[in-house]
A and B are shown apart, each in its own frame.
Chain A
Amino acid sequence: MDGRDELINTLASLTLFADLSRPQLEAVAHTFEDEYFAEGQRILRQGFSGSNLYIVLSGEAAVYVNGTQRATLARGDFFGEISVLLGEPPAADVVAVHPLRCLVLPAVDVEAFLQTYPRVTYRMLQAEARRVRTANLWR
């Protein structure tokens, strides 16, 4: 992610931020940190407290529960939100499969962020609803 415009354009292209104005996207770009994870690097650690909210900008990650791969994550996906919202350690490991770029927001800032941007909250709820539906289909 080489420049401010590129980052903001990337954010604008993600469903999660589709309803935000450009100035709001600028604020989001400044609120989150952008981080890079090399292939094989663990990002979220099952059972460890104090994790953060991550939004994938590019690359791919795998979700492992007790060592078994359960899902993959790609551009536009987010993870860590359940742990952050419930104040509990993550129930899964997330590991970069290919070099991964993410936006990161500390747990302590998530509530204020979601209240500031209710449209992002709504989009996040929609994504969670899809995950629940998919999980129910597997049963």
Chain B
Amino acid sequence: MSYFLNRWRLPHAVISADPGPGGMFRTFPLFERLNSWSKPYPPVEPTSRHYAWFDWNSLLADDPAHLALVPEFMEGGSYFPMRAEMERGLVAYAKRAGIHVRYGCRWESTRRMDGAVVLGTSDGEYTCRVVIFTIGMAEPWKPDISGIEQVPHYAEARPSPRYARKRVLILGKRTSAFEMADALLAWASQIILVSPRPPLLAIHSHSTAGVRARYLLPYEDHVLGGGVFMLDAATQRIERTARGYRVSAVGTTRPGNYVFAVDAVVAATGWTTPLGDLRALGLATFHQDRIPALTPYWESTSVPGIFFAGAATQGAVGLKKHGVPSNSGGVGGFRHNARVLAAYLARTRFGMTMPRPAIKPADVVPYLLSEVSSASELWNQRSYLARVISVTKEDGIRDEGIQPLAYFVDTSGHDAVAAVLETDGQGDHHPAVYVRRDGRVSEHVLAGDPLLNFQSPDHRVQLSALLKDSLNLY
């Protein structure tokens, strides 16, 4: 965020309670290896705009010297970096890009004063026109279950060898639960995963909202009857016993009562956003009060002037077409949001003029098809971020940059086209084009392609015809 605010020369201060750069990767993931890839030998140059699709972990930059930093620190052997490699990449980014942060400075309070926001911190007060909370979503969260306070959260779990020969019950069936089960396969004598619904897998949901395939060994073990159990049950009570814990649960998709006697219980029940006193200002939240409700440009829907960056930007749900959410919960998605937000703030809060390069009519179709085929913004943020081109008599055809799709379709404006990448319920990736004409927006889904080549003659014909009919472009 700071990098792109600097690019627009927007004066700002960055404070962090951490002792140095690295954020959550100083601690998580607990079992060391990330679940987002950085491909060491991508098919495009690291200096290419399209490179970021193949490296979900490196932060974005305009200067080639600041790009592709995470692979630089990876030792090979896996295209999922280790936590420490990711941390080193972030440290290098902060150093090389000259990101100035006041570390060890804790945000403690928030208040309004004459239209400004005043942050009380451990180092005094900051007064600002706009505040951007980049506070992550890494605070442990537990549901209301009797006795759950007696068991550690995933964040407090011990190293895998400490679970050797133990019967371990894991509450939850999302990513952190599967990550932990995967890490314990070689150690625990028995692993039981319990949550009310069956697991949602990324390969089925077609999104990173599901459990990633690299953690699916416990699932296979369960399916083959190898000793890992995955039960759909609502946990009622957790009690301490002389040897461990007694966990009582009631079947959900299959009726029945369960009582488990286990040596250890871990609550892999998720995370929440550390919102401090923002709720007292009227901040609307959802997802059981864990995520702030945000506009498409990541401003609180209920407290104007309060913006979010980082993982909390998943609070802007977008169109969620075919159930596919934004990828804003991970670095791969929210790094693009930061770039878009900086430009938005520069334009709307600091009166800066955005570059709007002119495009020749003959170049529109090839450009849009190139974008939906390769642009990392569109691939990392399917159905959320769009390439927008405006068409007016006064200005001709202009590239309006990357914008949230929900903003484009739900606001009025000039005649324009927004191109996005979408994935349907069957998992088919395809481009979609939204045309705004005389204030009305229509949706046009282009054909998919098994090799994801959307620059074929057929695609050119289809898009040319569409733009000719709808915007008289040709």
A118 contacts chain B at the CB level, 8 A cutoff: no
In Å, the complex CA distance between A105 and B301 comes to: 22
A72 contacts chain B at the CB level, 8 A cutoff: no
Contact A27 B234 (CB under 8 A): yes
Contact residues in B for A1 (Cβ distance below 8 Å): 286, 288-289
Contact residues in A for B179 (Cβ distance below 8 Å): none
Contact residues in A for B285 (Cβ distance below 8 Å): 36
Contact residues in B for A105 (Cβ distance below 8 Å): 323
CB 8 Å contact bits of A12-41 with B (1 = contact, 0 = none): 000000000011101101110111111001
CB-contact partner of A50 in B232, B255, B422, under 8 A: B422
B91 contacts chain A at the CB level, 8 A cutoff: no
A130 contacts chain B at the CB level, 8 A cutoff: no
Contact B301 A23 (CB under 8 A): no
Near B by CB (< 8 A), chain A positions 45-68 give 45, 47-52
Contact B196 A23 (CB under 8 A): yes
B121 contacts chain A at the CB level, 8 A cutoff: no
B56 CB, min distance to chain A CBs, angstroms: 23
Interface residue tally for chain B (C-beta within 8 Å): 41
B277 contacts chain A at the CB level, 8 A cutoff: no
With most chain A CB atoms within 10 A of its CB, the pick from B301, B383, B422, B445 is B301
Contact A47 B322 (CB under 8 A): no
Near A by CB (< 8 A), chain B positions 232-252 give 232-234, 250-252
Contact B196 A30 (CB under 8 A): yes
CB 8 Å contact bits of B302-325 with A (1 = contact, 0 = none): 100000000000000101111110
Near A by CB (< 8 A), chain B positions 10-29 give none
Contact B410 A108 (CB under 8 A): no
With most chain A CB atoms within 10 A of its CB, the pick from B145, B323, B324, B424 is B323
CB-contact partner of B284 in A23, A38, A109, under 8 A: A38
Ranked nearest first, the 8 interchain pairs of A and B with the lowest CB-CB distance are: A106-B323, A50-B321, A38-B301, A27-B252, A36-B286, A108-B425, A26-B234, A50-B322
Q: In the complex, given contacts A105-B323, A106-B322, what are 15 additional A-B residue pairs having Cβ atoms less than 8 angstroms apart?
A: A3-B288, A4-B144, A22-B250, A23-B234, A23-B250, A23-B252, A27-B252, A35-B287, A38-B293, A47-B442, A47-B443, A49-B321, A50-B383, A101-B286, A107-B425
27 contacts between A and B (CB under 8 A): A1-B286, A1-B288, A4-B143, A5-B144, A22-B250, A23-B234, A23-B250, A24-B252, A27-B196, A27-B232, A27-B253, A29-B196, A34-B286, A34-B287, A35-B287, A36-B286, A37-B293, A38-B284, A41-B410, A45-B319, A48-B321, A48-B443, A49-B322, A50-B383, A106-B320, A107-B425, A108-B322
Residues of chain B having any CB pair with chain A under 8 Å: 143-145, 195-197, 205, 232-234, 250-253, 255, 284-289, 293, 295, 301-302, 317, 319-324, 383, 409-410, 422, 424-425, 442-443, 445
